[in-house]
Amino acid sequence: MEKKKVVVGIDIGGTNTVFGFVDREGHILTEDKIKTNYYDEVEVYIAALYEKIMVAQTKIGFDVEIIGFGIGAPMGNINKGTIEYPADLPWKGIIPLADIFKRHTSLPVIVTNDANAAAVGEMIYGGARGMKNFVVITLGTGLGSGFVIDGKLVYGHDGFAGEIGHTAIRPGESNRDCGCGRKGCLETYVSATGIKRSLLKIMADSIQPSNLRKYSFEELDAEMIHDAAKEGDAIAIRAFEHTGRMLGFKLADVVAHTNPEAIFLFGGLALAKDLIFEPTKRYMEQNLLNIYRGKVKLLESELSTQNAAVLGASSLVWSIKEQK
């Protein structure tokens, strides 16, 4: 009997690394994860990850054949197979991720930006099926983005297109430090961490009561702010409003640059639905030139938060295999 071909899709996040065995139809046969931030050394991390993948394969049996590994990672560079200066990972500088991974396998290993991977996933399995021009914004620990123009993912000259998270909110004078070493980047406002920072700032400035005042910065997370806002907590609602204001403002730039049919929001913060979509849409429209107004759809990703990046990473391998 012929073995079922699968690609291992791997999504490297700041906290967890999730992987799944994905077949040609986009079914995930099995999925598991390891802690990213547990490993100070990338070689040890890759060895542990590969080991865990091999264990997963023994569990689903050997009638499955792995044909390649697709890796989505922050600052992943598809041209070079590297991760370069990731702001949210434990390793610094330029990391030759594909080369390190290839010490364990002779199969194809493709590295790309995790947000680019999510965009390909949206195009192949999700709400962007049939669309030629769209953008996916991933809202996790940081903020990533993937641009699809004319049906193709945009890599740019050096492989780093689609880093909207590290565009600045205003010229100079911003006081929010970013993990990338600069100040005022969009992801310092629009991300799970960004909304916590906004919440603290609003808490400091206002005298409104809030249940969230009893929690420390470290105890707080985006989900707690989401829950509080749903229950009418004024400060939590203002934190979402501010997050949407900043996101909408910069999405207007994305529209002016590339005029997409739709922008998809993906990840934890997007689960807050209207709390984030309504202010984002309002401020985006406010900042749009009239020719674009009311035309660009702001949509929820149709991929489940947990699977999209894994599917996206895997789809890259299928698409490259089939182009050959």
**DSSP E strand stretches across 53-123:** 64-73, 76-77, 82-84, 94-95, 109-113
Asked if 292 is part of the footprint of a second copy (rule: CB under 8 A), the reply reads yes
**Nearest distance from residue 266's CB to a second copy, in Å?**
18
Q: Describe the chain by its helix, strand, coil percentages, rounded to 5.
A: 40, 25, 35
**Which of 30, 37, 105, 258 touches a second copy by CB under 8 A?**
258
Question: Which parts of 184-203 interact with a second copy (CB under 8 A)?
Answer: none
Asked if 171 is part of the footprint of a second copy (rule: CB under 8 A), the reply reads yes
Stretch that binds a second copy, among 3-11, 270-278, 281-289, 305-313 (CB under 8 A): 281-289
Q: Is 182 left (phi over 0), alpha (psi -120 to 50) or beta?
A: beta
Question: Which parts of 93-122 interact with a second copy (CB under 8 A)?
Answer: none
CB 293 within 8 A of CB 259: no
Stretch that binds a second copy, among 26-34, 50-58, 145-153, 213-221 (CB under 8 A): 145-153
Asked if 215 is part of the footprint of a second copy (rule: CB under 8 A), the reply reads no
By beta-carbon proximity to a second copy, the closer residue of 57 and 82 is: 82
**Nearest distance from residue 34's CB to a second copy, in Å?**
26
**Which of 261, 278, 300, 302 touches a second copy by CB under 8 A?**
261
Query: Dihedrals φ, ψ of 149, to 5°?
Result: -125, 125
Q: Which of 279, 287, 268, 217 is nearest to 242 (CA)?
A: 279
Q: Which of 176, 212, 214, 174 is nearest to 193 (CA)?
A: 176
Element (H, E) at 201: helix 192-205
By beta-carbon proximity to a second copy, the closer residue of 48 and 168 is: 168
- Quick one: tokens of 188? 């310092």
Positions that interact with a second copy (CB under 8 A): 75, 84-85, 132-133, 147, 149-150, 152, 154-164, 166-171, 180-182, 245-246, 249, 252-254, 256-261, 283, 287, 289-292, 295-296
